[in-house]
Amino acid sequence: MLDFEEYVRARHDALLRRARRLVHDPLDAQDLLQTALLRTYGRWDDIEDKQLADAYVRRIMINTRTEWWRAQKLQELPIDQFPDAPVGDCAEQHAHRALLLDMMRVLTSQQRSVVVLRHWEQMTTQETATALGMAPGTVKSTLHRALIRLRQELQRRDPDRAPASTAGRGCPPVGRRAR
């Protein structure tokens, strides 16, 4: 049976990444994870299937974040006049996201899974391989081919947007290597 300390050692990094997706500030994410782990520790013996511990911790993090948001919302005070502060336009960011999601359709389901786990979930190569039931080398080669295909699709759709140094060559981005 998995004890709590072993669980935390094995899953801390992945849980912290999930906390970072829930709150933007890295210190708040650490606080969120610690709060969730403390609450989980108190109920650890009640969790019959330890394979579901990640889901339990994730639910606690979501509930805790909601509690924090509600507490913060109650502390807001009305003001007579809004301060002059520029408001950013997110239209371009939304357009880029829509383009990326549309471009992901050219990938095979295996390539999409690898790209999502490695870049969205920020899993390591080994974690991705374990999650998908494949060898780490297969994850690396699949990711490499998927990124080449995405660059080619970007070049096909908008030749002006694709980086000139890698356009059409299928080169990985500088400084980026698979773990």
- Span 93-145, pLDDT tens digits: 888 888 888 899 999 999 999 999 898 888 899 989 988 999 999 999 999 99
Q: Which CATH architecture has domain 92-157?
A: Orthogonal Bundle (1.10)
Cα–Cα distance, 47 to 121 (Å, whole number): 25
Q: Return the H-helix or E-strand segment holding 138.
A: helix 136-157
- Span 25-82, pLDDT tens digits: 999 999 999 999 999 999 999 888 888 898 899 999 999 999 988 877 666 667 777 7
Segment 174-178 mean pLDDT: 40
| Residue 163: pLDDT band with limits 50, 70, 90 | low
Q: Which residues contact 177 (CB under 8 A, 6 or more apart)?
A: none
Average pLDDT over all residues of the chain: 84
Q: Do the beta carbons of residue 159 and residue 167 sit within 8 Å?
A: yes
What's the pLDDT score for residue 161?
64
Q: Do the beta carbons of residue 99 and residue 81 sit within 8 Å?
A: no
Phi, then psi, of 42 in degrees rounded to 5: -65, -25
What's the pLDDT score for residue 93?
84
Cα angle, residue 69 at apex, residues 65 and 71 outer, rounded to 5°: 115
What's the pLDDT score for residue 169?
44
Q: Is the pTM of this model over 0.75?
A: no
Q: How big is the chain by its Cα radius of gyration, in Å? A: 21
What's the pLDDT score for residue 170?
44
CATH of domain 4-75: 1.10.1740
Q: For residue 143, which of 170, 174, 164 has the smallest C-alpha distance?
A: 170
Q: For the chain, which residues make up each domain, given as ranges?
A: 4-75, 92-157
Cα–Cα distance, 152 to 114 (Å, whole number): 18
What's the pLDDT score for residue 168?
41
